[in-house]
Chain A
């Protein structure tokens, strides 16, 4: 029990980044996913159900309305992109919640793991979870409804990057809320993204909103992505300007999310929330 020499121990500063520690956290979540088939099934279940439901609705509408006949794929495209946004945030938040549910957060906060290493590992896990959940669904969308999401090409990459950045910004902030307020704030992780749904105009153009609400919609990065997707699918026109605007807004959202997380973590250290991580 006592043979390990302490000379290996190096003292490090608060900003030292360690890929090894990030890898440790990813390994921890991977072990968890691998050991639990309900967690794996849940990753695929809702995206599949949603895609199939909306896919059939779109199929029906296309047969009965000339506009939708021209705008083939906008509904199912919106469903898939919304899922990237929603599942991206959920993938981040659930990995974080696993630490709260297992009462492991104190172990992590007492370890040399830095907050930004923790955040990076949660971001990587959200990508892994999203890949496991959404990639099979995109294949089903192609098989069932002939909608090839990957046919969007470079535009898909631009949409994806912007949606992921928003989902991480929200996920980071929600994690801060949970770390500060305990599992009583867990519901935010499941519901906060639905605040975005009507305002980011997932299924309809921004012009559908009342005029006074439209500036609010344009403050949210995903609005640019969904508008950009409709522009691409209906007019075959990729609007790079919309993606750049979304990227700029995302930089602000991401910085605000990280700032909020660090402030809430600081507050948790003041109020003792890291020791009592219950309800």
Chain B
């Protein structure tokens, strides 16, 4: 029997004053997989992820995460999930260690001291652990957010633009660590991103969203073959603009 999906989204709708931000989408995500949620600005990615996290109540439809209905049963599974998003920050006056201690306590992490040291080492933060979070560079802050997202060793990791504002080298470094984490722990990752290189590198499956709907959903090689393109960026443009318009723009 196949394992139950880590995330199951059924006919999900979110209306803001009758305007659909998410318009009847359905998909399932297998445990241990890495899936990319792609789409232009306003495509509905963040809204979808927010509903999966239980931060936003759907207008209709159903979201099940690790077997729990969201948001009604979210407290059954919040300890097994975590997230990173550009819409939230860590308290800036607190040091990295203090922030991680607070979140570690909130998530009930055992051997918290050791876990903080371990994350410090893994994310190259050891030297910075006692520095206020507000005094870090953008790249260092992203690594701290990532440390917070991994503090409870989540089975499900939701990431919204995890490498935005990072230089290519740091972004690549972060991707490598995320990839290793998911592989070693058999954790599930859903990633919303505009960065096609990131998606190509990490994701075994890509869901394209446009105007609140799913436009396409497949593995990167099959998407490339279907659209007759060499990169996901070209596929992204095809999906965003419509294939013909994208071809004209390319010419």
Contact = CB atoms under 8 A, between A and B. Distances in A.
A9 B181 CA distance: 18
B7 to A, nearest CB: 15
A70 interface: no
A274 B118 contact: no
A110 B79 CA distance: 9
A106 B155 contact: no
Nearest to A274: B55
A150 B25 CA distance: 64
B36 interface: no
A270 B17 CA distance: 11
Interface residues of B, number: 57
Interface string B67-100: 0100100011111111101011111111100100
A275 B101 contact: no
A35 B50 contact: no
Contacts of B119: 1
A110 B53 contact: yes
A114 B118 contact: no
Contact of B80 (A6, A32, A106): A6
A229 interface: no
Contacts of B91: 28, 32, 98, 102, 104
Contact of B47 (A14, A28, A104, A272): A272
Contacts of B92: 102
Nearest to A269: B57
Indicate the size class of the contact surface on chain A. Answer: 35 or more
Contacts of B43: none
A20 to B, nearest CB: 6
A275 B56 contact: yes
A35 to B, nearest CB: 5
A2 B93 contact: no
A18 B107 CA distance: 11
Contacts of A269: 54-57, 71
B103 A32 contact: no
Given A4-B153, A110-B53, A110-B55, A104 B90 contact: yes
Nearest to B158: A110
B63 to A, nearest CB: 13
Contact of A107 (B71, B88, B153): B88
B103 A107 contact: yes
A111 interface: yes
B152 interface: yes
Nearest to A1: B122
Central interface residue in A18, A32, A103, A111, by most chain B CB within 10 Å: A111
B43 to A, nearest CB: 15
Contacts of A270: 56-57
Contacts of B106: 21, 24-25, 108, 111-113
Interface string B164-178: 000000000000010
B75 A272 contact: no
Nearest to A114: B75
Interface stretch (B108-116, B193-201, B236-244): B108-116
Contacts of B53: 110
B148 interface: yes
Contact of A272 (B50, B95, B148): B50
A111 B56 contact: no
A105 to B, nearest CB: 8
A27 interface: yes
Interface string B205-224: 00000000000000000000
A12 interface: yes
Nearest to B132: A35
Contacts of B81: 110
A29 to B, nearest CB: 10
B77 A11 contact: yes
Contacts of B108: 8-10, 18, 20-21, 112
11 contacts: A1-B184, A2-B181, A6-B153, A6-B185, A13-B75, A21-B108, A102-B89, A102-B90, A106-B85, A270-B57, A276-B87
Q: Which 8 A-B pairs have the closest CB atoms?
A: A24-B105, A1-B122, A2-B184, A106-B88, A4-B153, A103-B89, A28-B102, A11-B76
